[in-house]
Amino acid sequence: MQIINGKEISKKIREELRERVSGISGKNKGVPALATILVGENPASKVYIASKIKACGEVGIKSVHHNLPATASQEEIIALIQKLNADKEISGILLQLPLPEGQNAEKCIDAISPDKDVDGLHPYNAGMLTLVKSWQEILNQKLLVSCTPMGVIYLLKYSNIDIKGKNVVVIGRSNLVGKPVSMLMLANNATVTMAHSATVNLREITKNADIVVAAIGKAGFVNKDFIKEGAVVIDVGINRCGDKLCGDVDFESVKDMNIHITPVPGGVGPMTITMLLHNTILAFERQ
């Protein structure tokens, strides 16, 4: 087994991002700025926001935080988003999810300008991803793509794992991970199968895959019977297993196999925030 170390790769990319921001500010072109919005006092969301603000500081991105009460109306949330849309000093807007019960997250996300949608969740950006034909087009157009799927691709690229021509099986069809990571794999010339809860003979399908992306949200669901020797396994799952975190892959089951695999924690997770920083810089450059 060879571990794909997301912490180390993330650290390397952040160093590159810090150099990019330094180059931008050195030319007196301003500084990329990320506006974060937290509605309510969800403890987990507060931790996530704090880690994103800290990461911004590490690479030189300015962060501006807005905390609305849980009682804030949808109109108030959208009004704040529209104010940030119009603020030329703000490069990207991140609305921390989930919102308090009763709020329509989709309507709030739709209110974010596509040019400032650093989460890559706006329908315009999601649609643009389906229209591109190649990875180079994604880079040239500076597309804002959902952070976790983009992190998966960069994990593979920085690990010198070729995607072109590979048989890829993505387990999960969510708008957040499954669909966009499938589009990114296609853009990198892979042959992609999207599997999900209704897929028949799932084990047989994944057993033929060169690359397996597990994003089904079920702890330890994927075991050695799903994986062939020599495969690459990307575990996107984050599940609470007792007092620790575990992925969608049964790590103990596959640890003696000849595979490349991302651990949980320390695999895909660190890359998600790194891609948020990456997108904030892209948004700045686009604007």
User: How would DSSP label each residue in 168-227?
Assistant: EEEE---TTTHHHHHHHHHHTT-EEEEE-TT-TTHHHHHHT-SEEEE-S--TT-B-GGG-
Annotated active-site residue in 103, 115, 117, 119: 119
Residues 6+ apart with CB under 8 A from 61: 21, 31, 32, 33, 34, 277, 280, 281
DSSP three-state, residue 76: helix
Please state, in angstroms and rounded to a whole number, the distance separating the CA atoms of residues 57 and 31.
Answer: 12
In eight-state DSSP terms, residue 99 is P
- For residue 177, how many other CB atoms are within 10 A of its CB? 26
**Residue 103 annotated in active site:** no
**Residue 11 annotated in active site:** no
H/E run at residue 140: helix 135-140
Annotated active-site residue in 62, 96, 103, 179: 96
Please state, in angstroms and rounded to a whole number, the distance separating the CA atoms of residues 68 and 185.
Answer: 37
Please state, in angstroms and rounded to a whole number, the distance separating the CA atoms of residues 226 and 205.
Answer: 8
Least Cα distance to 169 among 147, 199, 146, 145 occurs for: 199
**Residue 133 annotated in active site:** no
DSSP three-state, residue 35: strand
Show which residues are catalytic.
52, 96, 119
